[in-house]
Amino acid sequence: MNMANTMKSTLFKISIRELETKKTSFDITENAKNLGIEGKFSSINVKGSFQIKGRKVFIFGRMIFDAELLCSRCGTLFEANYTHSFKLVFLPEDKRKLDEFEDADVFYYGGEIIDFADHIRDFVYLSIPIKPLCSVDCKGIEY
């Protein structure tokens, strides 16, 4: 399935032209399906701020969501709450060689709109453990 075609969210777009140099806060709640996220997820709440310095755009945030997952040991469905903090730096395409932002995820933009919905979707998937457990002491399937 091509996730880019299923995404409908327009909430994570920033206009470079309208962005002021001061820090601007945001609090966005979006339906997981509108971000192209498959499975049983609650709405994704993303709080944070963005700021422009010169042609660099900084986005700092924290996302919170619930997911219904299948325990990898016992096979039961369980619901878990996840949080993920992130730092994104967007630089203009012509600055691709710059390496000064090692502790942040650095991305590049062309044009006047930055859409970071793909990044939010990726952070949701990266927050989910590869082998989810219903509890730390799950003993697995009992025979």
Q: What's the domain range around 99?
A: 3-127
The one-character DSSP state at 33 is: G
Task: Answer whether residue 85 is part of any domain.
Answer: yes
Task: Answer whether residue 139 is part of any domain.
Answer: no
Q: CA-CA distance, 19 to 1, in Å (whole number)?
A: 34
Place of tokens 């206009």: 15
Q: Based on the number of CB atoms within 10 Å of its own CB, is 114 exposed (0-12), middle (13-18) or buried (19 or more)?
A: buried
Q: How many domains does the chain have?
A: 1
Task: Answer whether residue 48 is part of any domain.
Answer: yes
Q: Provide the CA 120 distance to its chain's centre, in angstroms.
A: 2
Q: What is the pLDDT of residues 24-48, one digit of tens each?
A: 889 999 999 999 888 899 999 999 9
Beta bridge partners of 90: 57, 107
**Higher per-residue pLDDT: 53 or 85:** 85
Q: pTM value?
A: 0.78
Q: What is the pLDDT of residues 105-137, one digit of tens each?
A: 788 888 888 889 999 999 999 999 999 999 999
Task: Answer whether residue 39 is part of any domain.
Answer: yes
Which of 50-59, 94-103, 107-116 is the least confident region? 94-103
